[in-house]
Amino acid sequence: MDHDTTAFDVDAVSPALLRRFAVTLGLTDVDPRPGAAVPFGLHWCLAPDAAPLGDLSGDGLATTAGAILPPPDGFSFTMWAGADVTVHAPLRIGDTVRRRTRILDVTEKVGRSGRLAFGRVEQIFSVEGEDRIVDVQRYVFRTARPIATAPRPEAAAPAPGDVLGTFAIDPLAVFRFSALTFNAHRIHWDVAYARDTEGFPAPLIQGTLTATLLGLAWARRRDGAAGTISFHAHAPAACGDVLTLAALDGDRDGRLEARASDGRRILSATTGAVAS
C-alpha cells in the first residue's frame, strides 16, 4: 500500500462472526440479535487484509501486495507496538462496515540495538457515513539479527491494582484468533519458527489479542460508553503462560495492564473520554 493511498474495504458484522469471536475468547454474554452491540476488539476481525500466498515472506506476513504496511527496504521483522483506539459508538449485529485505511508515517532511527523503523496506520470503521471506531496501529520493524543476541525483558514486580481477570494463553485460542484476523505470522502458530528463528520457547500471543482482553475489561467498566484507549506493548508472552489483567486506578478510566506469570508487564493501556 502506497503512503499516499487510501484503501477502502467493506465487511458485515454477522452473528456467525460474533459466535466465532466469542468462543475464541470464552465470552458467554454476547447477544447475536440484529442491532445488538458487539464486544470491543471485533473490529480487528473485519475486512482482514488478504495477500496471495506468493506475496508472503518467510515469517508469513505480506511483503507488498495485500500488506497494510509492508516492511521498509532492509527490514525483515515486524512487531506490533500498540494502538490508539477511539470508540465513538459500538458496532452492531447487521452493520455493513466500511473501513478506510491510510499510512500516516514511517520513520527510521538508529538505536543501541541497530536500525529500527516505526510506522503508523490509521483505520476508520464507519457505518452509513458515521465513524464508529478510529484505530491507529503502531508497528516497529527491525533488521534480521542472530538469535543469540535477542534481548530478554527482565521480570518486574506486579504493580498494585484491582485484578480484573486472568487468561491462560492456550495455543488453540491463539491459532483461532490468527484465523479470525487472517494473521498468518508464523510466530503465533509455528513452534519451530518461534523457537529457532525468533528465539522464544513457544508461539506468542498476538498483541491485538492481549489488547482485546484489556479492551473488553475497559468496556465493561465504562458500561459501553464512548471512550479512548491507548495500548503500549512492552514484552512478548508465549503460549502456556497466564496473563493477569489489572486496573491500576479505581475509576472507570485510568491505567490498565496485562502481566505474565513471572511479573513481566506485557501490555499497558491508558483510557479516557472522547474529546469533545
User: What's the confidence (pLDDT) of residue 149?
Assistant: 39
Residue-level pLDDT at 143: 82
Average pLDDT on 153-163 reads 60
Measuring CA to CA, which residue among 268, 223, 222, 224 is closest to residue 244? 268
Counting residues of the chain whose pLDDT is more than 90, the rounded percentage is 66
The reported pTM is: 0.90
Mean pLDDT of the chain, nearest integer: 88
What does the block give as the cell for 184?
498468518
Residue 146 is predicted with a pLDDT of: 42
Domains contained in the chain, CATH given: 6-272 (3.10.129.10)
pLDDT for the residue numbered 9: 94
Residue partners of 83: CB distance under 8 A and separation at least 6? 135, 136, 137, 138, 208, 211, 230, 231
- Dist. CA 237–CA 241, nearest whole Å: 7
Between these two residues, 273 and 45, which has the higher pLDDT value? 45
